[in-house]
Structure 1
Amino acid sequence: MELHNIILKLQETRDVLLGILDGLNSDQLNKKKDSSSWSIGQVCQHLIKTEELYIIAIRRGLKSKDDSIIGNKPLEFLLDRTKKLEAPDIAKPTDEIVEYGEIIDALNKSREKLHDILNTLEDPSILNKRQFTHPVFKEMLLIEWVRSLELHEQRHIKQIIEIKDTL
């Protein structure tokens, strides 16, 4: 049941994101408020890269045969935008100009890959038993990887709204 609820929240959050992005033109997607900031398109690139990296981590964690003894970590700190988090280089966006259609396609494809892996689990409770080491948050149960994706996206939705308000 827990995974089902997380998947529903992931979908609700993605629907909010797609609603915010709906109708944005190339200039709105690619404009930065300053040289050290990301554009809306770059935030979306980051979300896509992060989701794809998480999928790899979940797959690797599922290959483990050992049950984890770690407990759940509080993840709500991800929603606090007053605390700046530096994205690892591998998850940083490019400076390429992005178009609405390609961003939406890439968001849909990365989410489809996530659903593919989650929907093929014979026993979803395995996500509560296996772990994989996150580069920033250290050891995390695989269910937390999935849950943190939703919180991460909520964090960046706030960022996108802030950027959009300055356009």
Structure 2
Amino acid sequence: MLIDDFNHTLQIWLRELNKYDYKKIIEKPEASSWSIGQVYMHLIDETNWYFDQINLCFDDLEHAEKEMSESAKLMFQNNSFPDLQIKGDPIAAANISQPIDIPSLKLALEKLKDEANILWTKMELKKTFGKSKHPGLHYLSPKEWLQFAEMHMRHHLKQKNNIVAALNYKKNYL
């Protein structure tokens, strides 16, 4: 079930936080790359925005007949982002802040989990809702937004693992 997938992936992110101290999560492999903490901050910020989109769909039946893009349909069919590095807006990426501390990240992730489960209950109870527009994928329904949030978190696990590998390489060989 979709909510189970979301909760499972979020739990991975929570569990991963136990592996690092604060110094490790704010360290960057290179000046132009993200830290592990910035990946967490990105996920929290974006997922909150996705949840805002879900709430828009609940409040307005607008765009209910509109569809997602063809590339989005394939992505959702595969339940995964394409297996390639997606370059974001470099200005936006530069504005991703470092976390204050690890407990605040855990708290924010727990809050996302609670909010997702509340939204899921609303999705199950409400039978009609609209759609809201994703900047690149076109129109998504509430369940599609939740699926997208889970896919997004899963996609960034690869990025986190690449950062860890780069930091370990840097520590061991430079």
**TM-score when normalising by structure 1:** 0.82
1:99 is matched with: 101
Which residue does the alignment assign to 2:120? 118
Aligned residues: 159
Aligned CA RMSD, in angstroms, stands at: 2.5
Per-residue displacement from partner, 1:94-136 (whole Å, max 9, x unpaired)? 1x3532111111111122222222223463543xx52100122
Q: CA deviation at 1:37?
A: 0.8
Per mean C-alpha deviation after superposition, the further-off stretch among 66-75 and 15-24 is: 66-75
Could you tell me which amino acid in structure 1 is paired with residue 133 of structure 2?
Answer: T
Q: CA–CA distance in 2 between the matches of 1:36 and 1:77?
A: 30
Amino acid at match of 2:119: I
Aligned-residue offset at 1:155: 0.6
Aligned partners of 2:141 and 2:124: how far apart in 1? 18
Hey, what does 1:109 align to over in structure 2?
A: 111
Letter in 2 for 1:58: I
8 Å Cα contact 2:40-2:105 kept in structure 1: yes
Asked whether 1:16 is paired with 2:12, we answer yes
- Shift of residue 40 of structure 1? 0.5
Q: Distance in 1 between matches of 2:88 and 2:121?
A: 31
> Does the 8 Å contact 2:54/2:141 carry over to 1?
no
Distance 1:121 1:68 in 2: 14
Residue aligned with 1:133, SS: strand
Give 3-state SS (helix, strand or coil) of 2:39's partner.
Answer: helix
* Residue aligned with 1:74, SS: helix
> Does structure 2 retain, via aligned residues, the 8 Å contact 1:29–1:98?
no
Match of 2:59 in 1: 63
The letter for the 2-side match of 1:163 is I
Superposed displacement of residue 24, structure 1 = 0.7
Q: Which amino acid aligns with 1:25?
A: D
Identity of aligned residues (%): 21
- Which secondary structure does the structure 1 equivalent of 2:19 belong to? coil
1:3-35 per-residue CA deviation (whole Å, 9 max, x = no partner) reads: xx1100011111222222213101111001111
Give the gaps of 5 or more residues in structure 1. none
* Aligned partner letter, 2:122: T
- 124 and 146 in structure 1: CA distance in 2 versus 1, 3 angstrom threshold: farther
8 Å contact 1:71–1:141 — kept in the other structure?
no
Structure 1: which amino acid aligns with 2:54? I
